[in-house]
C-alpha cells in the first residue's frame, strides 16, 4: 500500500511541477506521468503532441535533474486517453 501511495504522490508532484514549467496547451495533452527506475516518463495523448512535448522537455531536462537528482533519464511516450 505504501508503494502505491508513494507513486501517487510522485505523480502529483511531477504533474504540478510540469504545470509550472510547460505551456497550458501542452499540459492539456498530457495523459500521464510516472517515475520509475531513475526515469521520468511523460505520456502525451498522440504522436504529434508527443513530438512537441519532447522538444519542450529537452529544454527542461537540466531543471528536472536539479529538482530530482535521482532522475537519470526523461522519456516521452504516447498513451492515448481512454
Question: What average pLDDT does range 13-21 have in this prediction?
Answer: 97
DSSP 35-65: EETTEEEEEESSHHHHHHHHHHHHHHHHHHH
pLDDT digits (tens, 9 = 90+) for 49-70: 999 999 999 999 999 999 999 9
Q: Is the pLDDT of residue 82 over 80?
A: no
> Which whole-number Å values give the CA distances from 31 to 22, 66, 74, in the listed order?
14, 24, 16
Average pLDDT of the chain is 93
Owning domain of residue 9: 2-78
> Which of left, alpha, beta for 8 (phi over 0: left; psi -120 to 50: alpha)?
alpha
42 neighbors 53 (Cβ within 8 angstroms): yes
pLDDT digits (tens, 9 = 90+) for 20-41: 999 999 999 999 999 999 999 9
> How many residues are given for the chain?
82
Question: What average pLDDT does range 2-16 have in this prediction?
Answer: 88
Give the number of domains in the chain.
Answer: 1
Beta bridge partners of 75: 41
Amino acid at each position: 500500500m505504501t508503494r502505491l501511495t508513494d507513486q501517487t504522490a510522485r505523480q502529483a508532484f511531477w504533474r504540478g511541477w510540469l504545470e509550472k514549467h510547460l505551456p497550458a496547451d501542452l499540459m492539456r495533452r498530457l495523459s500521464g506521468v510516472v517515475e520509475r527506475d531513475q526515469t521520468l516518463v511523460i505520456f502525451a495523448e498522440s504522436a504529434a503532441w508527443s513530438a512537441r512535448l519532447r522538444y519542450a522537455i529537452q529544454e527542461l531536462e537540466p531543471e528536472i535533474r536539479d529538482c530530482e537528482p535521482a532522475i537519470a533519464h526523461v522519456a516521452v511516450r504516447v498513451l492515448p486517453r481512454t
